Amino acid sequence: MKKLVIIAILVGLIALTACGQSDETENQSSDSENANSSNENVAEETITFGMPSWTSTEAPTAIATQILEEAGYNVETSLLTQPVIWQGIQDQEIDFFMDAWLPYTEKELWNEYKEDLQKVATSYESAPLGWVVPSYVEEETIDDLAGKADKFDNEIVTIGAGAGIVEISKEVMNDKNYNLDGYELVPSSESAMMGVIDSKTKNKEPFVITGWRPHSMFAKYDLKFLEDTQEHFQYDNVYVLSYKGLEEKHPRAYEIMSKWSIDVADLEEMMLAYEKEDTSFEDSAAEWIEEHRDQVDKMLAE
């Protein structure tokens, strides 16, 4: 009799265990189905990022692209100048821009488009920018450049026209307090500006360029910001930008990107790997996502 009772108990325990495993399997299957269903819901949607040819924008755009692809979106990138990107966001042809410097650097663009645009998330705060020189020159402030145009080849090398840092540099050039007679502001591209740094530093020649962080130049070279005593350059926060109504047009993408943030040091590591080791931003983005899986999972959580 006792043996029959024991056998009955064991059979009951096995049945309960099997039921528990079945429930757990069903729950896992349900979670998987929900995730797949969520991805299927956005599979027909395309998200477009606007991107100028700046490494500070390419790096976060690569990460955001892969995160949204993981969520099931089709993702495209349009390589455009910064003013065209803002116009494209207003027209809802561009969904996200990862590198908006506000409230100071891109004040004019923001004032022009703010009725139709919104800040979706803060990427990082207090980003420095201004005029940059090699540490081996004695000049410490923009004032110190007065009367020394010949020393610096008569030029301040900057990036493409229309960028906020270029517009502020024009203000600096026209500031009579600085007495920058003999200097010319020379718009170029980021890669051309980096070429100037590389060629000049090899022979310890003086130069002035426009710089900002995050940027690999500060990891690669010994540089310093010139103090802007007239306070034209002020530190911004860097935002993810989109249009008002994104939350209705692409609610899942809005929810995901509203949780975005990144450390400046992480971006600079990606930029340096791109320049020194020819590591693509796609590869370094995948590595960043793997190393920050918890953060990404929180972004993707519904």
Instruction: Sort 53 into a burial class: Cβ within 10 Å, 0-12 / 13-18 / 19+.
Output: middle
Euclidean distance between CA atoms 35 and 15, whole angstroms = 30
Calculate the CA dihedral of residues 235, 82, 99, 223 and round it to 10 degrees. Answer: -50
Specify the CATH number for 129-225; select among 3.40.190.100, 1.10.3470.10, 3.40.630.30, 1.10.3720.10: 3.40.190.100
Q: For residues 183 and 172, give the distance between their C-alpha atoms in angstroms, rounded to a whole number.
A: 11
CB 164 within 8 A of CB 105: yes
Q: Tokens standing for 48? A: 């477009």
Phi, psi of 119 (to 5 degrees): -90, 115
Q: Print burial letters for 195-229: b (CB count within 10 Å at least 16), e (below 16).
A: ebbeebbeeeebbbbbbbbbbbbbbbbebebbbbe
Q: DSSP code of 242?
A: E
The answer to whether 274 and 191 have CB atoms below 8 angstroms apart is: no
Q: What are the φ and ψ backbone dihedral angles of 149, each rounded to 5 degrees?
A: -60, -40
Alpha carbons within 13 A on the beta-carbon side of 55: 29
**Spatial distance between the Cα atoms of 233 and 172, rounded to a whole number of angstroms:** 9
Local structure of residue 152 (DSSP, 8 states)? G
* Angle made by CA atoms 169, 175, 180, in degrees to the nearest 5: 80
pLDDT for residue 14: 41
- Residue 161's pLDDT is what? 83
Same fold, 40-127+236-300 and 129-225: yes
> Which are the contacts of 159, defined by CB distance < 8 A and separation ≥ 6?
54, 165, 166, 187, 188, 189, 190, 193, 210
- Looking at the domain 40-127+236-300, which fold is it? D-Maltodextrin-Binding Protein; domain 2 (3.40.190)
Mind listing the pLDDT tens digit of every residue in the chain (302 residues)? 444 334 444 444 444 444 444 444 444 444 444 445 556 687 789 999 999 988 889 999 999 999 999 999 999 999 999 999 999 999 999 999 999 999 998 999 999 999 999 999 999 999 889 999 999 999 999 999 999 999 999 999 999 888 889 999 999 999 999 999 999 999 998 889 999 999 999 999 999 999 998 888 888 899 999 999 999 999 999 999 999 999 999 999 999 999 999 999 899 899 989 988 999 999 999 999 999 999 999 999 98
| DSSP-derived secondary structure letter, 226 | P
For residues 99 and 239, give the distance between their C-alpha atoms in angstroms, rounded to a whole number: 6
Q: Which helix (H) or strand (E) holds 130?
A: strand 129-134
Domains of the chain, by residue range, sit at: 40-127+236-300, 129-225
* Tokens coding 272: 């340096």
Sequence letter at residue 298: K
Nearest to residue 134, comparing CAs of 190, 207, 186, 213?
Answer: 207
218 alpha carbon, distance to own chain's centre: 17
Residue type, 96: F
**Rounded to two decimals, what is the model's pTM?**
0.72
From the list 140, 94, 35, 36, the residue with the least C-alpha distance to 240 is: 94
